[in-house]
Amino acid sequence: DIRMTQSPSSLSASVGDRVTITCRTSQDIRNDLAWYQQEPGKAPKRLMYAASSLQSGVPSRFSGSGSGTEFTLTISSLQPEDFATYFCLQHNNYPHTFGQGTKLEIK
């Protein structure tokens, strides 16, 4: 299985801050990585696909980068609705595997 190392596991930040979340994979997955936002009791929402493509309808303050084994999700200016949990997913190889999640909290 491809191991996913997502960091940090939690992050305190303020509205307007720029934050970056990192996902590292144990082997090259090209750009077969997606980022999701998860709120309690709601369906996960895809933010980025193919590592750096913005999902339609997602604000442009979200961006993704990387390929191979290292990937980042950046939120350029945090808004109140962005405080949630974020996770990455690799779909290059079965079984698909996930990062452990990053809980973004208000400072």
What are the residues binding other proteins (CB under 8 A)? Answer: 32-34, 41-46, 49-50, 55, 87, 89, 91, 94-101
Q: Which is nearer to other proteins, 39 or 70 (CB)?
A: 39
How far, in Å, CA of 31 to CA of 14, rounded?
A: 30
CB of 6 to other proteins, least distance (A): 9
Q: What is the DSSP letter of 30?
A: T
Q: Which is nearer to other proteins, 42 or 107 (CB)?
A: 42
CB of 104 to other proteins, least distance (A): 16
Q: What string of H, E and C letters represents the secondary structure of 48-105?
A: EECCCEECCCCCCCEEEEEECCEEEEEECCCCHHHCCEEEEEECCCCCCEECCCEEEE
Q: Which is nearer to other proteins, 78 or 88 (CB)?
A: 88
